[in-house]
Structure 1
């Protein structure tokens, strides 16, 4: 490749990255402005200028407080959660070579919920274990259990390309959901139980700036890990054996990326609860738009996932006047038909 071609390629990548960041900024701004009480874009931008750059625009303190203390951190957490869950689903689909793999269907989200509830309600860890750490332990435990069950059900054969991992994930989800319900019933009072059940359906109402400082570094870490291993993920499209023949350290890559997936999922669940179908739907949409090469697919998946969950959060706040729906309800309304479509397309492909 000539020097001019390399420069053109780098400029093109820089231009695509700039457009992607601009689209993400627009989505976050929309999340900050749209709600039961609409606030103009000018007020939102002036609020940001006052808070970040020390400007002195005269603003209604109530509107400025709504933007800065409530809607903006909520939109940023929604973006982080959408991006994190989407790239987690992409990684699982690529490593397992299964179009139906995602953290929700494989029981990882359910395990993270159980770990989080065990720490907050049952007092597991005696105050030493944090909520996110408990969720991470639950997520890893759930995935290991599902993987062992799927391998045993398949007679010890590889999990790639089979339906055993999805069936095992459904069983694991039911098990950990039952454990979560048991812990809530045994240890929580009525008020705690009501709040936790709403949180388990996905709830961004409590997202504040401390949640942003937790979610953003974790998602960026997961995104960097996925981009760094983009070529390895391309190699896994032909199977683990083919990836190994191409020089990919299969076991190390699997442990690294599945660990990153579990960490991202656990942190997101500890902040907003269990949100389903984002990791299933968004990677397929991104493949349709940019193709299957993970160098482009990973950032596109993260961007679409972030925008999707911000849009879902806006719908959850505006669909019914005076009420806020759990965001998991909105994602399920989109994800369930998409799940059926993937099943039908997979059957036709065979």
Structure 2
């Protein structure tokens, strides 16, 4: 009942955040108009139009897909952070731990500076996703050679992240200086590429990954108590840990491909959730998804209105707010 209460509260706040995210901006739109447009587009003919075509375009084609993408990315990064912190027994673990973010950034750099939009608007997300998958495969290969212990997987990810970051910096140095601004903005995180046809990919990956992780949440609890405890409960530790790393890397790779590198969500949200939900991953994983979505939607709203009409990189907002909030959480827990 406690978990259901928290989930209901998170969903209610999420609905309010979505409403605010679509309604507020450079051109504010009344809440009634926002929901009338949404209902009319979902069920044609249900509402008599009283709004302009420009407002409908802003709500349906620009802001709503952006807000939904922010929710999906925030949920995915927060869930990944919660799982990695439990599996590695490292409170500082986050979605960028395995070099996936560095791989995604490398793919985006290649697309923006060296190949151009050869596949249209989908070029940057596709190249970023390919880079994230390549980084995941590289970490898995190195970990297989060295062993799949939690510490070696983490160290393999750190090594791959440093290497791919160095390669990405070299490509920036060799690229067209006029395009460097767009690369830097993407690396700092941004949701300006959100389109309806792109939402299916992060949505499907998040739904499947979240369902699988919730089903295996009690096994994750056992793994968090130590390899010996998990083995006595009949859990194949090495295989299960590798499966968790693959799932979280895939989840991170897809989110990074559409949003760029956004920090602190995966690190901060699980700690905040554990303050009031405890350490049981049966509660922590779904609540992290809801809270992560809520926080990133609000962060994107701040990024859009703080320097309107310009968009502030969302990674700046999450970094500033996340740093202060994380210090406060550590002080309270300490």
Q: Same fold (TM over 0.5)?
A: yes
Residue by residue over 1:63-113, the C-alpha shift from the partner in whole angstroms, topping out at 9 and shown as x without a partner, is 111010011000000000000000111111111000000123553311222
CA positional deviation for 1:191: 4.0
Q: How many residues align?
A: 327
How far apart, CA to CA, are the structure 1 residues paired with 2:159 and 2:242?
23
CA positional deviation for 1:39: 1.1
Match of 1:183 among 161, 171, 194: 171
How far apart, CA to CA, are the structure 1 residues paired with 2:286 and 2:148?
33
Identify the residue that residue 242 of structure 1 maps to in structure 2: 229
How far apart, CA to CA, are the structure 1 residues paired with 2:171 and 2:141?
19
How far apart, CA to CA, are the structure 1 residues paired with 2:15 and 2:37?
15
How far apart, CA to CA, are the structure 1 residues paired with 2:230 and 2:148?
18
Q: Mean alpha-carbon deviation: is it higher for 221-230 or for 67-76?
A: 221-230
Structure 1, unpaired ranges of 5+: 1-8
CA positional deviation for 1:157: 10
Identify the residue that residue 268 of structure 2 maps to in structure 1: 281
Look up the SS of the partner of 2:199 in the other structure.
helix
Aligned counterparts, 1:54-69, within 5 A? 54=44, 55=46, 56-69=48-61
Does 1:137 find its partner at 2:133? yes
Identify the residue that residue 212 of structure 1 maps to in structure 2: 199
Q: Is the 8 A contact 1:107 1:142 kept in 2?
A: no
Q: Mean alpha-carbon deviation: is it higher for 43-52 or for 330-339?
A: 330-339
Q: Is the 8 A contact 2:129 2:256 kept in 1?
A: no
Identify the residue that residue 36 of structure 1 maps to in structure 2: 26
CA RMSD of aligned residues (A): 3.2
Identify the residue that residue 315 of structure 2 maps to in structure 1: 328
Label 1:338 to 1:147 Cα distance change in 2 as closer, same or farther (>3 A): farther
How far apart, CA to CA, are the structure 2 residues paired with 1:286 and 1:106?
23
Residue by residue over 1:128-148, the C-alpha shift from the partner in whole angstroms, topping out at 9 and shown as x without a partner, is 994354133244156448868
Look up the SS of the partner of 2:321 in the other structure.
helix
Q: What TM-score, normalized by structure 1, do the two folds share?
A: 0.82
Identify the residue that residue 106 of structure 2 maps to in structure 1: 114
Look up the SS of the partner of 1:97 in the other structure.
coil
Q: Mean alpha-carbon deviation: is it higher for 240-249 or for 104-113?
A: 104-113
Identify the residue that residue 302 of structure 2 maps to in structure 1: 315
Identify the residue that residue 222 of structure 1 maps to in structure 2: 209
Look up the SS of the partner of 1:225 in the other structure.
helix
CA positional deviation for 1:31: 1.1
Identify the residue that residue 73 of structure 1 maps to in structure 2: 65
How far apart, CA to CA, are the structure 2 residues paired with 1:44 and 1:53?
14
Residue by residue over 1:233-279, the C-alpha shift from the partner in whole angstroms, topping out at 9 and shown as x without a partner, is 11122112211111222223212221111111111111111111111
Structure 2, unpaired ranges of 5+: none
Q: Is the 8 A contact 2:101 2:252 kept in 1?
A: yes
Label 1:324 to 1:302 Cα distance change in 2 as closer, same or farther (>3 A): same
How far apart, CA to CA, are the structure 2 residues paired with 1:216 and 1:243?
31
Residue by residue over 1:214-249, the C-alpha shift from the partner in whole angstroms, topping out at 9 and shown as x without a partner, is 211111122112101110111122112211111222
Q: Mean alpha-carbon deviation: is it higher for 103-112 or for 70-79?
A: 103-112
CA positional deviation for 1:118: 3.7
Identify the residue that residue 3 of structure 1 maps to in structure 2: none
CA positional deviation for 1:281: 0.2
How far apart, CA to CA, are the structure 1 residues paired with 2:330 and 2:278?
20
Does 1:24 find its partner at 2:14? yes
